[in-house]
C-alpha cells in the first residue's frame, strides 16, 4: 500500500492566472445552428447614456446577442429601427407594431455615485402597450457585460417562463491540436465566450473539470509531473489544493450538491472504484467495490444517489448507488455502450454517451434509464452535461475534424456551436447559476 497524504499536500498559487492577463484573446466564438423558426421578434434599443455616462460596453448589443443565440428570439437590426427611444414617453408602439415586433426593450445607463453605473430598463408588449417589467441594477465598469447578461436572463425568463443562463460561465479544455507536444489549457469563460481566463496551462493532459455548487471553485484532473492528480482551484485567487494523488487513477471529480464531498475514481486498491472524500477532513469512503471498472460518478441533485459507469456486466452501462453505500442497481439496458451519465438539475433526466451503430452520440433518458432519446448525431460526441436551467445540454463534438463544443436544447430547436478560431476545444462543464 502506497502511503499518500490526503488533503493539503500542496497549496500552490496559480501563477498561470497572472500569465493569462497578457494573453491574446483566444476566445470561443458561437454560431447558431439549426432552424430558428418561431423565433420571437424583439427590438432591443441602444441604451441611452445619461448624465455623461460613457460605458465601455454596448449593453443592448450584448443583450441582443444573448437572446438571438438562444434561438428563441430574433433581435431587430439597429439600422431598421425608425427611432431610438430610451424613455417610456418617447415610445410610439404603433411604429414597433408596424415593424412586426412582439416586444420592446429600452434602457438607460447613468453614472453611479462613487463610480460604476446604474442601469435601468423597461420591457413592453408592443401589441397591448403593457409594461412587462421595469427594473434597475448597478455595475462596475468591468462588470458591464455581466450586468447585460443578467438583464438578458431576466428578459428571457419573463418572455419564456424559463430561467436564463446568459450570466453563467463555461469551463473547457483547449489545445492547439491533438499532438502529444501540444500544450493543454483549462479555461473558464462567460457563456458567450468572452472573458476567457486560464485556470491552468500544462504540457501534460488535463481533463474532467467540475464546478463546485457555489461556482467559485473547479475540481479537475491534471497529469502535471506525469502523475494524475485531482486538484481543487479557487477561481478568484488561483489558489489550489491537490486533494488526491494516489497510485493509479485519480479521476472523475464531482462535487456533492452541498459542496462538502467530492466523488472521484481511484484505482489505488487494484481496480477503478468510486470513492467519496469528505473535503473538510480528507477522509475517504469507498462507495463501490468491484473488480470491473467503476467510474464517472455523478450526484443526483438531492445528493442521495450517484450514477456511475461500470463494465461489471461485460460492457459499460449506467448504474445507481445510494450515497450512503449499498448495492448498485443497473439503470441502462438499451445499447452496448452507455457511459458518463449525469442528472438534469430537476433530477428527472439523465444525459449520457451512447454508442449507436459504431457512433458515439449523446442520449437523454428518464432518471430510471428508460425511454432513450438521441440528442446528437456525431461520431465521437462526449462529455455531456446540462445547462443549470435544464433546458440545454452541452457536449464535445467534432466539426470538420476539429474539436468543438455543441449546445442542443432538450425541447428541440436551434442549437449552438462553440469553437476557437485555432485549436481544439473539449471537456465542457457549465457553471451553476451565479449566486
Partner 1 sequence: MSIRWQLSLSVLVLALTGCATPPPPPPAAPSADELDAMGSRPAPGIEATRERSPLDDPASPLYRKVVYFEYDAARIQPQYAGLLRAHADYIYNTPGVEVTLEGHSDERGTREYNLALGDRRSDAVKRFLMAEGVPEKRIRTLSYGEERPADPGRTERAWSENRRVELVY
- The 8-class DSSP code of residue 357 comes to T
Does residue 151 belong to the site contacting partner 1 (CB under 8 A)?
no
Does residue 385 belong to the site contacting partner 1 (CB under 8 A)?
no
Greatest Cα pair distance, the chain, in angstroms, is 78
Contacts 24+ apart (CB under 8 A), 373-376: 375/351, 375/408, 375/410, 376/406, 376/408
Which of positions 354-383 make contact with partner 1 (CB under 8 A)? 355, 360, 380, 382-383
Rg, C-alpha atoms of the chain: 23
Report the residue number, 27 or 355, with the smaller CB distance to partner 1: 355
Does residue 249 belong to the site contacting partner 1 (CB under 8 A)?
yes
Contact range with partner 1 by CB under 8 A, out of 98-106, 109-117, 270-278, 320-328: 270-278
Distance (Å, whole) CA 426 – CA 182: 14
Q: Are 252 and 265 in contact (CB under 8 A)?
A: yes
Q: For the window 174-193, what string marks contact with partner 1 as x by the rule CB under 8 A?
A: ---xxxx-------------
Q: For the window 303-332, what string marks contact with partner 1 as x by the rule CB under 8 A?
A: ------x-x---xx----------------
Does residue 251 belong to the site contacting partner 1 (CB under 8 A)?
yes
Residue 150 grid coordinates: 443578467
Does residue 205 belong to the site contacting partner 1 (CB under 8 A)?
yes
Q: Which of 193, 196, 272, 390 binds partner 1 (CB under 8 A)?
A: 272
Contacts (Cβ under 8 Å, ≥6 apart) of 400: none
Q: For the window 32-71, what string marks contact with partner 1 as x by the rule CB under 8 A?
A: ----------------------------------------
Number of residues this chain uses to bind partner 1 (CB under 8 A): 39
Q: For the window 276-305, what string marks contact with partner 1 as x by the rule CB under 8 A?
A: -----------------x-xx---------
Distance (Å, whole) CA 309 – CA 318: 5
* Beta strands across the sheet bearing 217-222: 11-13, 239-244, 229-234, 217-222, 206-211
CA-based nearest residue to 132, from 141, 143, 121: 121
Q: Which of 401, 411, 421, 435 binds partner 1 (CB under 8 A)?
A: 401
Does residue 252 belong to the site contacting partner 1 (CB under 8 A)?
yes
Q: Are 256 and 303 in contact (CB under 8 A)?
A: yes
Contacts 24+ apart (CB under 8 A), 401-409: 403/178, 405/28, 405/170, 405/172, 406/33, 406/376, 406/378, 406/381, 408/362, 408/375, 408/376, 409/71
Distance (Å, whole) CA 29 – CA 194: 8
Contact range with partner 1 by CB under 8 A, out of 99-107, 235-243, 336-344, 362-370: 336-344
Does residue 244 belong to the site contacting partner 1 (CB under 8 A)?
no
Does residue 423 belong to the site contacting partner 1 (CB under 8 A)?
no
Report the residue number, 177 or 302, with the smaller CB distance to partner 1: 177
CA-based nearest residue to 386, from 153, 146, 211: 211
Q: Which of 337, 345, 399, 433 binds partner 1 (CB under 8 A)?
A: 337
Summarize as ranges the residues that interact with partner 1 (CB under 8 A). 177-180, 205, 207-208, 223, 226-228, 247-249, 251-252, 265, 267, 270-272, 293, 295-296, 309, 311, 315-316, 337, 339-340, 353, 355, 360, 380, 382-383, 401, 427
Amino acid at each position: 500500500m502506497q502511503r499518500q497524504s490526503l488533503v493539503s499536500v500542496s497549496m500552490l498559487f496559480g501563477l498561470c492566472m497572472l500569465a493569462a492577463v497578457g494573453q491574446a484573446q483566444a476566445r470561443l466564438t458561437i454560431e447558431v445552428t439549426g432552424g430558428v423558426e418561431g423565433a420571437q421578434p424583439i427590438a432591443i434599443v441602444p441604451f441611452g447614456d445619461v448624465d455623461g455616462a460613457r460605458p465601455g460596453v454596448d449593453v443592448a448589443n450584448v443583450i441582443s446577442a444573448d437572446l438571438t443565440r438562444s434561438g428563441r428570439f430574433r433581435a431587430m437590426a439597429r439600422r431598421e429601427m425608425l427611432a431610438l427611444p430610451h424613455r417610456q414617453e418617447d415610445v410610439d408602439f404603433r411604429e414597433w407594431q408596424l415593424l412586426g415586433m412582439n416586444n420592446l426593450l429600452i434602457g438607460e445607463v447613468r453614472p453611479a455615485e462613487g463610480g460604476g453605473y446604474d442601469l435601468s430598463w423597461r420591457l413592453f408588449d408592443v401589441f397591448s402597450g403593457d409594461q412587462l417589467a421595469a427594473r434597475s441594477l448597478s455595475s462596475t465598469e468591468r462588470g458591464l457585460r455581466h450586468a447585460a447578461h443578467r438583464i438578458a436572463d431576466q428578459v428571457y425568463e419573463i418572455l419564456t417562463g424559463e430561467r436564463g443562463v446568459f450570466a453563467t460561465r463555461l469551463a473547457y479544455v483547449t489545445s492547439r491540436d491533438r499532438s502529444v507536444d501540444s500544450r493543454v489549457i483549462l479555461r473558464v469563460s462567460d457563456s458567450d465566450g468572452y472573458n476567457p481566463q486560464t485556470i491552468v496551462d500544462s504540457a501534460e493532459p488535463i481533463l474532467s473539470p467540475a464546478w463546485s455548487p457555489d461556482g467559485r471553485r473547479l475540481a479537475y484532473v491534471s497529469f502535471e509531473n506525469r502523475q494524475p492528480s485531482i486538484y481543487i482551484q479557487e477561481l478568484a485567487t488561483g489558489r489550489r489544493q491537490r486533494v488526491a494523488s494516489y497510485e493509479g487513477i485519480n479521476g472523475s471529480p464531482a462535487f456533492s450538491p452541498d459542496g462538502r464531498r467530492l466523488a472521484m475514481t481511484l484505482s489505488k486498491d487494484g481496480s477503478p472504484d468510486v470513492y467519496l472524500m469528505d473535503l473538510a477532513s480528507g477522509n475517504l469512503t469507498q462507495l463501490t467495490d468491484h473488480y470491473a471498472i467503476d467510474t464517472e460518478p455523478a450526484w443526483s441533485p438531492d445528493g442521495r444517489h450517484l450514477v456511475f459507469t461500470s463494465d461489471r456486466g461485460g460492457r459499460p452501462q449506467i448504474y445507481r448507488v445510494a450515497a450512503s453505500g449499498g448495492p448498485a442497481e443497473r439503470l441502462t439496458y438499451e445499447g452496448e455502450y452507455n457511459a458518463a451519465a449525469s442528472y438534469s438539475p430537476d433530477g428527472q433526466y439523465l444525459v449520457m454517451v451512447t454508442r449507436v451503430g459504431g457512433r458515439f452520440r449523446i442520449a437523454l433518458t428518464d432518471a430510471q434509464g428508460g425511454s432513450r432519446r438521441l440528442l446528437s448525431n456525431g461520431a465521437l460526441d462526449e462529455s455531456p452535461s446540462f445547462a443549470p436551467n435544464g433546458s440545454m445540454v452541452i457536449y464535445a463534438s467534432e466539426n470538420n475534424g476539429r474539436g468543438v463544443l455543441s449546445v442542443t436544447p432538450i425541447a428541440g430547436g436551434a442549437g449552438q456551436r462553440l469553437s476557437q478560431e485555432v485549436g481544439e476545444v473539449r471537456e465542457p462543464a457549465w457553471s451553476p447559476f451565479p449566486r
